[in-house]
Structure 1
Amino acid sequence: MYQVLYCLTDQHDWRLVALGGAVCLLASAAAISLFHRARAAQGTARLVWITLDAVVSGCGIWATHFIAMLAYGPGTGGAYNIPVTLLSLIFAISVTFVGLSIAVSSTRTLWVVLGGAIVGGGVAAMHYTGMAALEIPARVDWVEGTVIVSVVLGIVFAALALFVAARRDDLSHAISATALLTLAIVAHHFTAMGAVVLTPDPTLAISGLSIPPASMSFLTASAAIAIIAIALVSALLDRRAKGELGRQQVVLDTALENMSQGLCMFDADGKIILFNERYAAMLRRSDMQLIGRVLLDILREEAAKGQWNGDPEQFFARLVEDAREGRTTTDVVRRFDRSIRVVNQPMQGGGWVATFEDITEWLEAQAKISHMARHDALTNLPNRVLFHEQLEQGLRRAGSNNQLAVLCLDLDHFKDINDSLGHPIGDALLKEVGRRLKATVGEHDTVARLGGDEFAVVQIGRSEEAAARALAGRLVEVISAPYEIDDHQIVIGVSIGISLAPQDGTNPDELLKNADLALYRAKADGRGTYRFFETGMDARAQARRLLEMDLRAALQRDEFQAYYQPIRDVASDRVVAFEALLRWNHPHRGLISPINFIPLAEETGLIIQLGELVLRQACSDAATWPNDIGVAVNLSPVQFKNPNLIASVTEALEKSGLAARRLELEITESVLLQNSEATLTTLHELRAMGVRISLDDFGTGYSSLSYLRSFPFDKIKIDRSFVSELATREDSVAIIRAVTGLGRSLGIVTTAEGVESDAQLELLRREGCTQAQGYLFSQPRPASDVAMMLERPRLRASA
Structure 2
Amino acid sequence: MEHDWRLVVLGAVICLLASAVAISLFHRARAAQGRAREIWIGLDAAVGGCGIWATHFVAMLAYDPGIEAGYNIPITLLSLVLAVAILAVGLAVATLDERWRTVAAGGAIVGAGVAAMHYTGMLGLELPARIVWSPGIVASSIAFGSLFGALALVVATRGERFGTVAAATGLLTVAIVSHHFTAMGAVTLVPDPTIVSGGLTVSPRVLSFMTAVAVFAILGLSLIASILDRRAKTELHKQKVVLDTALENMSQGLCMFDADGRIMLFNERYSEMMGRSRMPLQGRLLIDVLQDLHSIGEWDGDPEEFCNALVAEAKAGHSATRIVSRNERAIRVVDQPMKGGGWVATFEDITEWQQAQEQISHMARHDALTNLPNRTLFREQLEKASRLAKRSDQLAVLCLDLDHFKEINDTLGHPIGDALLREVARRLGECVTEHDTVARLGGDEFAIVQFCSNCEPSVVSSLASLVVERIAAPYEIGGHQLVIGVSIGISLAPEDGKDPDELLQKADLALYRAKADGRGTYRFFETGMDARAQARRLLERDLRLALEHDEFEVYYQPIRDVAGGQVVAFEALARWNHSLRGLIAPNNFIPVAEETGLIVPLGEIVLRKACADAAGWPEAVAVAVNLSPVQFKNPNLVSSVKAALQASGLSPDRLELEITESVLLQNSEATLAVLHELRGFGVRISLDDFGTGYSSLSYLRSFPFDKIKIDRSFVTDLATREDSMAIVRAVTGLGKSLGIVTTAEGVETDTQFDLLRQEGCTQAQGYLFSPPRPAADVAKMLRRAPERSVA
Same fold (TM over 0.5): yes
Q: The residue matched to 2:398 in structure 1 has which SS?
A: strand
Which structure 2 residue ranges, 5 or more long, are not aligned? 1-9, 77-159, 163-195
2:652 aligned partner = 660
Q: How far off is 1:584 after superposition?
A: 1.1
Find the aligned partners of 2:697 and 2:31 in 1 and give their Cα distance.
111
Q: Deviations over 1:354-379 (max 9, x none)?
A: 22222222212111111111111111
Code of the residue aligned with 1:439 in structure 2: it is: E
1:183 aligned partner = none
1:325 aligned partner = 316
2:617 aligned partner = 625
Find the aligned partners of 2:326 and 2:203 in 1 and give their Cα distance.
80
Code of the residue aligned with 2:366 in structure 1: it is: H
1:718 aligns with 2:710: yes
Q: How far off is 1:404 after superposition?
A: 1.3
Find the aligned partners of 2:392 and 2:606 in 1 and give their Cα distance.
58
1:443 aligns with 2:460: no
1:340 aligns with 2:331: yes
2:378 aligned partner = 387
Find the aligned partners of 1:328 and 1:35 in 2 and give their Cα distance.
39
1:456 aligns with 2:460: no
Alignment of 1:279-318 (within 5 A): 279-318=270-309
Which of 453-462 and 253-262 deviates more? 253-262
Whether contact under 8 Å (2:652, 2:681) holds in the other structure is: yes
Find the aligned partners of 2:620 and 2:347 in 1 and give their Cα distance.
93
Whether contact under 8 Å (2:47, 2:218) holds in the other structure is: no
Q: How far off is 1:48 after superposition?
A: 14
Which of 634-643 and 440-449 deviates more? 634-643
Find the aligned partners of 1:310 and 1:634 in 2 and give their Cα distance.
81
CA 1:353–1:763 in 2, change beyond 3 Å: closer, same or farther? closer
Which of 334-343 and 668-677 deviates more? 668-677
Find the aligned partners of 1:351 and 1:674 in 2 and give their Cα distance.
74
1:7 aligned partner = none
Q: How far off is 1:685 after superposition?
A: 3.3
1:518 aligned partner = 510
Find the aligned partners of 1:435 and 1:729 in 2 and give their Cα distance.
45
Which of 785, 789, 793 aligns to 2:785? It is: 793
Which of 217-226 and 266-275 deviates more? 217-226
Whether contact under 8 Å (2:18, 2:48) holds in the other structure is: no
1:372 aligns with 2:363: yes
Which of 686, 700, 724 aligns to 1:694? It is: 686
CA 1:555–1:740 in 2, change beyond 3 Å: closer, same or farther? same
Whether contact under 8 Å (1:29, 1:232) holds in the other structure is: no
Whether contact under 8 Å (2:25, 2:41) holds in the other structure is: no
Q: How far off is 1:579 after superposition?
A: 0.8
How does the TM-score come out when normalised to structure 1? 0.73
Q: The residue matched to 1:536 in structure 2 has which SS?
A: helix
Q: The residue matched to 1:371 in structure 2 has which SS?
A: helix
Which of 264-273 and 679-688 deviates more? 679-688
1:359 aligns with 2:350: yes
CA 1:48–1:680 in 2, change beyond 3 Å: closer, same or farther? closer
Find the aligned partners of 2:713 and 2:632 in 1 and give their Cα distance.
26
1:593 aligns with 2:593: no
Code of the residue aligned with 1:286 in structure 2: it is: S
Q: How far off is 1:782 after superposition?
A: 2.2
Q: Deviations over 1:726-765 (max 9, x none)?
A: 5555655555455444434443323232233445444444
Q: The residue matched to 1:460 in structure 2 has which SS?
A: strand
Q: The residue matched to 1:315 in structure 2 has which SS?
A: helix
1:14 aligned partner = none
Q: The residue matched to 1:637 in structure 2 has which SS?
A: coil
Code of the residue aligned with 1:556 in structure 2: it is: E
1:256 aligned partner = 247
Q: How far off is 1:55 after superposition?
A: 8.3
Q: The residue matched to 2:457 in structure 1 has which SS?
A: helix
1:497 aligns with 2:527: no
CA 1:456–1:213 in 2, change beyond 3 Å: closer, same or farther? same
Q: Deviations over 1:641-670 (max 9, x none)?
A: 434333332332233221111111122233
Find the aligned partners of 1:600 and 1:318 in 2 and give their Cα distance.
70
CA 1:248–1:449 in 2, change beyond 3 Å: closer, same or farther? same
CA 1:80–1:271 in 2, change beyond 3 Å: closer, same or farther? farther
CA 1:79–1:247 in 2, change beyond 3 Å: closer, same or farther? farther
1:604 aligned partner = 596
1:431 aligns with 2:402: no
Q: How far off is 1:605 after superposition?
A: 2.1
Two-structure CA RMSD over aligned residues (Å): 4.2
Find the aligned partners of 2:218 and 2:211 in 1 and give their Cα distance.
10
Which of 534, 541, 549 aligns to 2:541? It is: 549
Find the aligned partners of 1:40 and 1:282 in 2 and give their Cα distance.
37
Q: How far off is 1:786 after superposition?
A: 2.0
Whether contact under 8 Å (1:409, 1:495) holds in the other structure is: yes
2:119 aligned partner = none
Find the aligned partners of 1:423 and 1:735 in 2 and give their Cα distance.
37
CA 1:795–1:346 in 2, change beyond 3 Å: closer, same or farther? farther
Which of 277-286 and 491-500 deviates more? 277-286
Which of 381, 398, 412 aligns to 1:407? It is: 398
Q: How far off is 1:243 after superposition?
A: 4.4
Code of the residue aligned with 2:604 in structure 1: it is: E
2:527 aligned partner = 535
Q: The residue matched to 2:356 in structure 1 has which SS?
A: helix
CA 1:25–1:378 in 2, change beyond 3 Å: closer, same or farther? farther
1:272 aligned partner = 263
CA 1:416–1:267 in 2, change beyond 3 Å: closer, same or farther? same
Whether contact under 8 Å (2:410, 2:666) holds in the other structure is: no
Which structure 1 residue ranges, 5 or more long, are not aligned? 1-20, 70-76, 87-165, 169-207
Whether contact under 8 Å (1:602, 1:638) holds in the other structure is: yes
Q: The residue matched to 1:651 in structure 2 has which SS?
A: helix
Which of 301-310 and 695-704 deviates more? 695-704
Alignment of 1:15-414 (within 5 A): 212-414=203-405
Q: The residue matched to 2:439 in structure 1 has which SS?
A: strand
1:685 aligns with 2:658: no
Which of 473, 487, 490 aligns to 1:481? It is: 473
Find the aligned partners of 2:280 and 2:732 in 1 and give their Cα distance.
106
Code of the residue aligned with 1:218 in structure 2: it is: F
Whether contact under 8 Å (2:70, 2:204) holds in the other structure is: no
CA 1:211–1:632 in 2, change beyond 3 Å: closer, same or farther? closer
Q: How far off is 1:298 after superposition?
A: 0.9
1:636 aligns with 2:628: yes
Which of 595-604 and 45-54 deviates more? 45-54
Q: The residue matched to 2:527 in structure 1 has which SS?
A: coil
Whether contact under 8 Å (1:78, 1:213) holds in the other structure is: no
Q: How far off is 1:595 after superposition?
A: 0.7
Code of the residue aligned with 2:601 in structure 1: it is: Q
Which of 536, 541, 554 aligns to 1:562? It is: 554
Find the aligned partners of 1:305 and 1:337 in 2 and give their Cα distance.
18
Q: How far off is 1:578 after superposition?
A: 0.9
Code of the residue aligned with 1:260 in structure 2: it is: S
Find the aligned partners of 1:290 and 1:442 in 2 and give their Cα distance.
55
CA 1:524–1:249 in 2, change beyond 3 Å: closer, same or farther? same
Aligned length: 653
How does the TM-score come out when normalised to structure 2? 0.73
Which of 444, 462, 466 aligns to 1:470? It is: 462
Find the aligned partners of 1:667 and 1:320 in 2 and give their Cα distance.
85
Which of 637, 642, 654 aligns to 1:650? It is: 642
CA 1:484–1:309 in 2, change beyond 3 Å: closer, same or farther? same
Q: How far off is 1:28 after superposition?
A: 11
